[in-house]
Amino acid sequence: MEAGFERAVAPHRRELLVHCYRMLGSLQDAEDVVQETMLRAWRAFDRFDPTRASLRTWLYRIATNACLNALESRASRPLPSSAGPAFDDPDAAFVPASEVPWLLPFPNDPESAAVERSRLRLALVAALQLLPARQRAALILREVLDLPAAEVADSLGMTTAAVNSALQRARARLAEAGVDPEAAAEPPAAQRAIVDRYVDAFERADVAALTALLADDVVLEMPPMANWYLGRDDYAGFMRRVYRLRGTDWHTEPLWANGEPGFAAYVDGALHTVQVLSVEQGRVTRTTVFQSPEVFALFGLLPAQR
C-alpha cells in the first residue's frame, strides 16, 4: 500500500481492531476483517471525500459493513452463561461443546487507555453477541463511538427511525443481561489487587479464602465446556472438585485480557488454563476459564513443563 495511505490510516488501526473484535468476538476474525477493511479503503482512497465524512468515520463504515458481511456466514460467539441454563451440580460431568464458536479473549495490558478497557470488558462483549448483527453494529457505532444517529443510519443503510428503534431494542436486551455499555472499567490497580488475593488463595487451594472474594451472584464458566455455575456456593463446590481431582500443586503467571486481570494456571508444572476475572466494587463477579490451544496461542503460552 502507498506510504500516504498508510500514514493516514495508521492512527486508526488499533481502534478498528477493537471495534471488529466487539462485533465478531474473536481477535483472529477481527484481524482478518481489519485487513479486508484496509484493502477496500486503499482501493477506494482516491474517491474518499473529506467534506462528506472524516477519515475515521469512513473507515468505521467500511469495517462495520465488512463485519456484517462476515456475520452472514458465521454464528455469533456466546459464552456458556448465555447459551444455556446454569448447572446446579458442581460435580456434574463435563459437557463438551467444541462445535460452538465460543467468544475468545482479547489480550491487552493495563496500560491501555481507560476507554479501550471499558469497551473490551468481557461481560460487555459477551452481551453484544446476544444482539442481532445490525442491532449490535448500531449500538456500538452510536453508544460506544458516539456517532450521530444520522451517520449510523448512513453507515448501515438504514433510516434514522430504524436506527433509533434498533438502539431501543439493543439497550433493553443488554439491560436484561445486566450490562451497562457506558459503564467504566475499574482502575487496573484496584482490579489487580483483588485478583492477587484470589490468586494467593487459588495457589494455596484455600477455597474459603477464595470464596470470600466472590460476589453473591458470581458466574463461573469454562468454554469449550457447556458447564457454568451461578453463585458462591456452586463456585466453591466446583473449586473443591478441582482440587480433589487435579491436586493442589498449582502456580500462576499474571496476564491481562479484555481490560481485566487474569492468569495462566499451571498444575504439576503443565499449562492448564487461562482465567480472566471481572472485578466490580471489590468482588469477583465473573471468572471465565479458557482451555484451548487457540487461546493459549493468543497469549504466547506453550503447554510445556516448568
Question: How far are the Cα atoms of 140, 205, 301 from residue 270, in angstroms, in the given order?
Answer: 39, 17, 11
Q: How far apart are CA 119 and CA 125, in angstroms?
A: 8
* pLDDT, tens only, 194-214: 999 999 999 999 999 999 999
* Average pLDDT of the residues of the chain: 93
Q: How far apart are CA 80 and CA 219, in angstroms?
A: 10
Give the pLDDT score at 306. 44
Residue 100 has pLDDT above 70, yes or no: yes
Give the pLDDT score at 305. 47
Read off the pLDDT of each residue in 280-295 and give the average, rounded to a whole number.
96
Cell digits for 301? 503460552
**Which percentage of the chain shows pLDDT scores above 70?**
98
Read off the pLDDT of each residue in 170-177 and give the average, rounded to a whole number.
93
Q: Tell me the whole-structure pTM to 2 decimals.
A: 0.93
Residue 19 near residue 140 (C-beta atoms within 8 A)? yes
* pLDDT, tens only, 116-139: 888 899 999 999 999 999 999 999
Kindly list the structural domains of the chain, giving each domain's residue range(s) and its CATH number in brackets, ordered by start. Answer: 1-74 (1.10.1740.10), 78-130+177-306 (3.10.450.50)
Give the pLDDT score at 88. 95
* pLDDT, tens only, 209-220: 999 999 999 999
Give the pLDDT score at 160. 94
Give the pLDDT score at 22. 94
Give the pLDDT score at 304. 54
